[in-house]
């Protein structure tokens, strides 16, 4: 029987998770720890309900276990739409969120938007195979971070499966640019994905920030999962005029006005803005069709550059290979698993 979770449990839980976090960037971990080399799914289905960030619609979300080698599969239950595998080449829009389409030319309605926070939660928790059902056009935003998704996955239980996890290994450096913004993936001798992102915003409350980390459950849960999406206050009227951010509020986004943060509760981290950009990148990169084994570097990158990067990586077979982690890259914990 599925577990049903309502979001009011989130605030007290995430406060307990936060503890005394450092007021500077988390130190870069040169030897990331992995939770095993096998594929994982969830133990049992779990349901939740939330609001769509851009549509403002009330949307039901259901996460269900999936067999080995299924991948991440999104399904719309409110319309007749084929299931969509979460993959870079199924992305049909990257304006303010990452949007998947069903691969047909039948219209704008057959989409699932705002998937990046859920994808980040899945990657951060090490979930390889799962069915995601929604009865609306986007994934609920909850509090604007990935914390609720981590909570749901942990409530459902994350369990290993019998097949080895297939990583996307980066063989050579691939880079895309847009003016002074760029995103690149390069090979690494370390197991898993490491990330180094910098941002530069004219708003003094954000300014220049940089964050470096590895993607593994402990680091993700403690340092990244609670970082919320953000918006500049002067942009809100425009977003509303084009039919976006209808469900946005101070409960699910950080609003910045010049040198100040409008939210009465302030920030969850002094550098919450760049941490959220890291969270977004983790979600976007999980659209590689598996966990990436490589180093990501981005400056002022976003959903569009991240997707362009994956398309360029997969455009040439010499750029990548799909295989389990090499024995030489596994940690003692991996080998004991």
Q: What is the pLDDT of residue 329?
A: 58
Instruction: Select from 107, 4, 146 the least CA-distant residue to 63.
Output: 4
* Tokens read off for 260: 């100040």
Residue 14 placed within a domain: no
280 assigned to a ligand binding site: yes
Residue 292 placed within a domain: yes
Q: What is the pLDDT of residue 103?
A: 57
Q: What is the pLDDT of residue 244?
A: 75
- Which CATH number belongs to the domain containing residue 113 in this structure? 3.30.1700.10
Q: What is the pLDDT of residue 34?
A: 41
Task: Give the CA count within 13 Å in the CB-facing half-sphere of 171.
Answer: 11
Q: What angle do CA 163, 168, 169 make, to 5 degrees?
A: 120
Q: What is the pLDDT of residue 262?
A: 96
Number of domains the chain is built from: 1
Residue 4 placed within a domain: no
pTM: 0.87
Across the 337 residues of the chain, what is the mean pLDDT of every consecutive 10-residue run?
Answer: 48 33 38 66 98 90 99 97 97 94 64 97 98 97 97 98 97 98 96 96 97 93 97 87 80 94 97 98 98 98 98 99 75 40
Residue 189 placed within a domain: yes
143 assigned to a ligand binding site: no
Residue 116 placed within a domain: yes
Residue 196 placed within a domain: yes
Task: Give the CA count within 13 Å in the CB-facing half-sphere of 66.
Answer: 18
Q: What is the pLDDT of residue 289?
A: 97
Residue 10 placed within a domain: no
Residue 47: which domain range? 22-336
25 assigned to a ligand binding site: no
Residue 8 placed within a domain: no
Q: What is the pLDDT of residue 328?
A: 45
Catalytic residue numbers, as ranges:
303
Instruction: Select from 191, 192, 232, 299 the least CA-distant residue to 96.
Output: 232
């Amino acid at each position: 029987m599925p577990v049903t979770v309502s979001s009011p449990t989130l605030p007290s839980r995430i406060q307990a998770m936060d503890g005394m976090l450092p007021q500077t960037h988390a130190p870069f971990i040169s030897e990331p720890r992995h939770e095993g080399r096998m594929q994982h799914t969830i133990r049992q289905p779990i349901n939740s309900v939330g609001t769509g960030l851009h549509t403002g619609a009330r949307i039901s979300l259901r996460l269900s276990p999936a067999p080995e080698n299924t991948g991440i599969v999104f399904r719309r239950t409110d319309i007749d739409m084929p299931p969509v595998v979460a993959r870079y080449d199924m992305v049909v829009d990257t304006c303010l969120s990452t949007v998947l389409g069903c691969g047909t030319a039948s219209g704008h309605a057959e989409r699932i938007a705002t998937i990046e926070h859920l994808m980040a939660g899945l990657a951060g928790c090490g979930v390889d195979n799962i069915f995601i059902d929604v009865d609306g056009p986007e994934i609920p935003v909850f509090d604007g971070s990935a914390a609720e998704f981590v909570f749901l996955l942990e409530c459902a239980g994350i369990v290993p499966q019998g097949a080895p996890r297939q990583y996307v290994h980066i063989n050579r450096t691939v880079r895309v640019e847009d003016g002074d913004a760029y995103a690149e993936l390069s090979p690494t001798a370390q197991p898993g994905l490491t990330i180094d992102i910098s941002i530069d915003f004219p708003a003094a409350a954000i300014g220049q920030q940089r964050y470096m980390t590895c993607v593994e459950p402990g680091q993700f849960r403690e340092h990244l999962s609670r970082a919320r999406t953000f918006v500049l206050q002067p942009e809100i009227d425009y977003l509303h005029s084009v039919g976006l951010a209808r469900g946005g509020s101070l409960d699910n986004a950080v609003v910045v006005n010049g040198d100040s943060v409008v939210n009465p509760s302030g920030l969850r981290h002094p550098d919450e803005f760049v941490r959220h950009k890291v969270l977004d990148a983790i979600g976007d990169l999980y659209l590689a069709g598996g966990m990436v084994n490589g180093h990501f570097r981005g400056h002022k990158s976003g959903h569009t550059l991240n997707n362009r990067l994956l398309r360029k990586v997969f455009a040439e077979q010499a750029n990548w290979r799909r295989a389990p982690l090499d024995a030489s890259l596994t940690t003692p914990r991996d080998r004991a698993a």
